[in-house]
């Protein structure tokens, strides 16, 4: 279908950043700050190739349609072959471009943000490995390949969150991210094994067909699908494995942008979308996906309401938005969910880069130490406002189109509880993000640092400006047909669920509902208005309200006590198990078995060392005794005729022993 | 009386040689085990070696199938014994030089 040259270009998309990783890891000490140019070159070429892939799939180059090819990778002989390959449909092509583009913006931005860092080149190296892993994950046509890149993504997030490992909190956050996502990874792996055991293949499409043909029993299918979903829950920081993401804010801010926008957390949602044909065959699993998503969206939004750390507000917002995407996938609004993933990548990256810009200017994360930054950092302010409006889902910003799609689908598919949750979340989202923006940028400066803050350099504001344009406009490729504008709904035509999924779910076309859109926009505006009312004219109002609702405030500020709960149960249990095995190892195995053998040998040696008298005549006696004993044994075996001689020898021996023994 | 004389003149039987050899060996072993003087111990070892030699030669003479092989073994043993004695005496001399004694009871540096 494709020529070898095209295939090489596709393969180069993830390989180039991986090569950059090796080059920077090896030559980082030589390149130092020049590492960024190598990295940016690599990602730029990957971006160009990704655009080529997108155009090929869209049919603007060549004949269009999905790109698929593979080579044998692990040959199991009788057991079959694990191929390694590429499968690019519309969804994967969009993701490729988004990942490369966001990664490029972040790498441009990091050049200034990370300037003077002692491990600058290593930072860029891991950033590229991260990008390469995510691109590999997006391209993967089967579970095994996906799992390899899935773990690589986890590893890179661990390395980057712990980039400033001199700080104990960064180390702990890195470990937490790694361990919590491992829980999901383990479940995913079990799910993969179930699929492989039942169908004998790991390819997504083949598993879906096998499941359709009834190779997997209904309950086993649900189990396997939910296990895969738990993997996605861990990676995408959904309830109940969301606890790692806010702590991951310990990493450098551009890394947070990369993790939240394109690479790490998107992987979970992408996995569900990729295996959608399998998911739709289990209505139970779909409901689980939808309700976990809806609950996470609401829960994380409430947590974000009271956070003082600007990065944590945005982090909880990511958890919440990913919940939206899961909700959308769960109720069958596949296109809306993926559209939100695509829009979210841009405005969330922008929000983090804006936060990074503030941190760069005044070296503080606390919004209540900021204030009045609007005049000092106008570009950061306006880009943040654009991203905030997009996040809040205000017409006509990008977030509006996808969020409205999700909310409207929940209503039209009669999931009224989820619809209520989603709508409430819209309100909360608008409130918390504009609370952070108003407190940070309006009013009077609340610290010396805020008074002296200055706009970040152009290399940082440039990517922010580009992303701001996309935060406003990225959604315009997916304006629904029913809206009345003479533009085609490109996104829905390009990233659509398979025919099989459409039939199974009974997806019908719904016209664009202006009433629902108006309700969700009004909720958003109400949130913004409330944030303005509480925080701008008289900030005392917010303080007074927080005082009056102190228990609720603390409850939200502690993140619903999830950390405390997990600390008291799982962490404590794990620590106890660790201490127990440690004690068992030291006491029972170390001092007991190993030490016991040592002590036993020592005692035996002490006891029989007396035989080593140093006198040659004693040794000679031992030899004689031994030979005679040997003679007796041989004699006993050979027969009785030796008995007389043997007895005589024993007598002689006994006499000799007595003779020598008297002198010992 | 005549019988006794005949017995004296007649070639001694194999058992006689073996008994002499066994007695020599026992005396040698006994001496090697209980005497303190290293030189005397050597002499006792020589006695044991020669007891074995006697037994070898006797068997070589009395067993037709042996074909005289025991005699050549005896020559070999004598040669090795000579070598062994020279080495052993050298050790005894070296011990005497360093410790001013040839009493084996006093040489126990290897006591455990």
Distance between CA atoms of A281 and A500, rounded to whole angstroms? 10
DSSP readout, A77-88? GGG-EEEEEEEE
CA A92 to chain centre: 18
Tokens 């309830």, residue? A239
A617 CB near a chain B CB, below 8 Å?
A: yes
Handedness of CA A553, A556, A560, A566 (dihedral sign): negative
A656 vs chain B: nearest CA distance in angstroms? 6
Of A611, A613, A617, the CB nearest to B33: A617
B1 vs chain A: nearest CA distance in angstroms? 32
ipTM above 0.85, yes or no: no
How confident is the prediction for chain A on average, in pLDDT? 83
- A605: closest chain B residue by CA: B112
Looking at beta carbons, which residues of chain B come within 8 Å of A617? 32-34, 41, 104-105
The mean pLDDT value for B53-73 works out to: 83
Q: What is the pLDDT of residues A351-400, one digit of tens each?
A: 888 888 888 888 777 878 777 777 888 888 888 888 888 888 887 788 88
* R_g of chain A, CA atoms, integer Å: 34
The C-alpha angle with vertex A319 and arms to A318 and A322, in degrees rounded to 5, equals: 80
pLDDT higher than threshold 60 for residue B77: yes
Q: Which residues does A198 contact at the CB level (< 8 Å), separation at least 6?
A: A210, A215, A216, A220, A224
Distance between CA atoms of A450 and A501, rounded to whole angstroms? 53
Q: Which residues does A485 contact at the CB level (< 8 Å), separation at least 6?
A: A479
B30 CB near a chain A CB, below 8 Å?
A: yes
Cβ(A66)–Cβ(A87) under 8 Å? Answer: yes
Tokens 């699993």, residue? A285
Looking at beta carbons, which residues of chain A come within 8 Å of B40? none
Tokens 């922008």, residue? A350
Contacts of B85-92 with C-beta under 8 Å, sequence gap 24+, read: B85/B42, B85/B46, B88/B42, B88/B45, B89/B39, B89/B42, B92/B38, B92/B39, B92/B42
Torsion of CA A197, A201, A202, A206, to 10 degrees: -120
B102 CB near a chain A CB, below 8 Å?
A: no
pLDDT of residue A648: 67
A199: tokens are 């169908």
Q: Do A611 and B111 touch (CB under 8 A)?
A: no
Q: Quick one: residue B30, left, alpha or beta (phi over 0 = left, psi -120 to 50 = alpha)?
A: alpha
Looking at beta carbons, which residues of chain A come within 8 Å of B104? 615-617
Among residues A442, A454, A255, which one has the least CA distance to residue A367?
A442
Q: Which residues does B111 contact at the CB level (< 8 Å), separation at least 6?
A: A612, A613, A614, A615
Q: What is the pLDDT of residues A391-414, one digit of tens each?
A: 888 877 888 888 888 888 888 888
Q: Which of residues 60-79 of B touch A (CB under 8 A)?
A: none
The helix or strand, by DSSP H or E, that contains position A16, with its residue range, turns out to be: helix A4-31
Q: What is the pLDDT of residues A98-125, one digit of tens each?
A: 999 999 988 888 888 888 788 888 888 8
pLDDT higher than threshold 70 for residue A656: no
Distances in Å between the Cα of B38 and the Cα atoms of A615, A663, B33 are 12, 16, 11
Cβ(B14)–Cβ(B1) under 8 Å? Answer: no
pLDDT higher than threshold 70 for residue A659: no
Burial class (CB in 10 A: 0-12, 13-18, 19+), A644: exposed
Q: Do B107 and A612 touch (CB under 8 A)?
A: no
Q: Do A613 and B112 touch (CB under 8 A)?
A: yes
pLDDT of residue A600: 93
Q: What is the pLDDT of residues A336-352, one digit of tens each?
A: 888 888 888 888 888 88
Of B34, B104, B105, the CB nearest to A659: B34
Burial class (CB in 10 A: 0-12, 13-18, 19+), A281: buried
Looking at beta carbons, which residues of chain B come within 8 Å of A615? 104-105, 107-108, 111
Alpha-helix runs per DSSP H in A305-333: 310-330
Looking at beta carbons, which residues of chain A come within 8 Å of B107? 614-616
């Amino acid at each position: 279908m494709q020529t070898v040259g095209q295939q090489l270009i596709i393969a180069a998309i993830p390989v180039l950043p991986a090569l950059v990783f090796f080059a920077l890891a090896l030559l980082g000490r030589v390149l130092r700050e020049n590492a960024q140019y190598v990295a940016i070159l690599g990602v730029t070429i990957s971006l160009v190739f990704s655009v080529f892939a997108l155009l090929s799939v869209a049919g603007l180059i060549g004949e269009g349609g999905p790109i698929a090819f593979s080579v044998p990778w692990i040959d199991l002989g009788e057991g079959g072959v694990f191929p390694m390959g590429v499968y690019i449909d519309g969804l994967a092509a969009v993701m490729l471009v988004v990942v490369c583009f966001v990664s490029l913006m972040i790498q441009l931005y990091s050049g200034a943000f990370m300037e003077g860092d002692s491990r600058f080149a290593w930072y860029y190296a891991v950033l590229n490995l991260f990008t390469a892993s995510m691109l590999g994950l997006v391209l993967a046509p089967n579970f095994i390949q996906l799992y390899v890149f899935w773990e690589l993504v986890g590893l890179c997030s661990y390395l980057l969150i712990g980039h400033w490992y001199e700080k104990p909190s960064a180390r702990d956050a890195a470990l937490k991210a790694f361990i919590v996502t491992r829980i999901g990874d383990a479940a995913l792996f079990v799910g993969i094994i179930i699929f492989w055991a039942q169908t004998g293949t790991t390819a997504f499409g083949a598993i879906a067909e096998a499941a359709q043909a009834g190779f997997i029993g209904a309950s086993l299918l649900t189990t396997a699908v939910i296990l895969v979903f738990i993997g996605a829950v861990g990676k995408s920081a959904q309830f109940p494995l969301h606890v790692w993401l806010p702590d991951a804010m310990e990493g450098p801010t551009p890394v947070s942008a990369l993790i939240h926008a394109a690479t790490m957390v998107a992987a979970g949602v992408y996995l569900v979308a990729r295996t959608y044909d399998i998911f739709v065959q289990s209505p139970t699993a779909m409901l689980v996906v939808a309700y976990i998503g809806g609950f996470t969206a609401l829960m994380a939004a409430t947590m974000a309401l009271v956070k003082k750390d600007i990065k944590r507000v945005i982090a909880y917002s990511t958890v919440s938005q990913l919940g939206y995407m899961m909700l959308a996938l769960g109720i069958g609004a596949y296109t809306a969910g993926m559209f939100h993933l695509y829009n979210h990548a841009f405005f969330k990256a922008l929000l983090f880069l804006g936060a990074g810009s503030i941190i760069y200017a005044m070296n503080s994360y606390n919004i209540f130490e900021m204030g009045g930054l609007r005049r000092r950092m106008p570009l950061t302010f306006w880009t943040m406002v654009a991203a905030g409006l997009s996040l809040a889902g205000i017409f006509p910003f990008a977030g509006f189109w996808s969020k409205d799609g999700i909310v409207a689908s929940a209503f039209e598919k009669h999931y009224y509880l989820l619809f209520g949750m989603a709508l409430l979340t819209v309100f909360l989202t608008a409130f918390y993000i504009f609370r952070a923006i108003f407190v940070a940028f309006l009013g009077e400066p609340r610290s010396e640092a805020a008074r002296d803050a200055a706009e970040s350099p152009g290399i940082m504001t440039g990517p922010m400006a580009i992303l701001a344009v996309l935060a406003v406009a990225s959604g315009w490729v997916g304006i629904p047909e029913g809206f009345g504008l003479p533009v085609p709904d490109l996104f829905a035509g390009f990233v659509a669920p398979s025919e099989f999924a459409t039939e199974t779910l009974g997806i019908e076309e719904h016209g664009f509902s202006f009433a629902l859109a108006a309700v969700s926009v009004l909720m958003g505006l109400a949130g913004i208005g409330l944030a303005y009312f509480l925080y701008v004219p008289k900030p005392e109002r917010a303080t007074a309200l927080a005082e009056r609702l102190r228990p609720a405030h603390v409850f939200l500020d502690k993140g619903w006590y999830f950390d405390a709960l997990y600390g008291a149960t799982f962490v404590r249990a794990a620590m106890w198990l660790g201490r127990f095995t440690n004690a068992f190892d030291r006491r029972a195995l170390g001092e007991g078995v190993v030490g016991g053998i040592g002590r036993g040998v020592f005692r035996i040696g002490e006891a029989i060392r007396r035989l080593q008298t140093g006198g040659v005549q004693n040794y000679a006696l031992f030899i004689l005794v031994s030979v005679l004993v040997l003679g007796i044994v041989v004699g006993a075996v050979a027969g009785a005729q030796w008995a007389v001689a043997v007895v005589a020898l024993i007598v002689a021996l006994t006499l000799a022993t007595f003779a020598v023994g008297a002198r010992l | 009386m005549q019988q006794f004389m005949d017995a004296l003149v007649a070639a001694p039987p194999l058992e006689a040689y073996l008994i002499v050899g066994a007695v020599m060996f026992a005396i040698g072993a006994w001496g090697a085990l209980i005497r303190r003087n290293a030189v005397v111990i050597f002499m006792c070892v020589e006695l044991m070696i020669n007891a074995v030699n006697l037994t070898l030669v006797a068997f070589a003479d009395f067993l037709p199938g042996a074909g005289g092989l025991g005699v050549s073994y005896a020559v070999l043993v004598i040669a090795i014994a000579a070598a062994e004695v020279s080495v052993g005496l050298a050790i005894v001399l070296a011990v005497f030089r360093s410790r001013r004694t040839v009493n084996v009871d006093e040489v126990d540096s290897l006591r455990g």
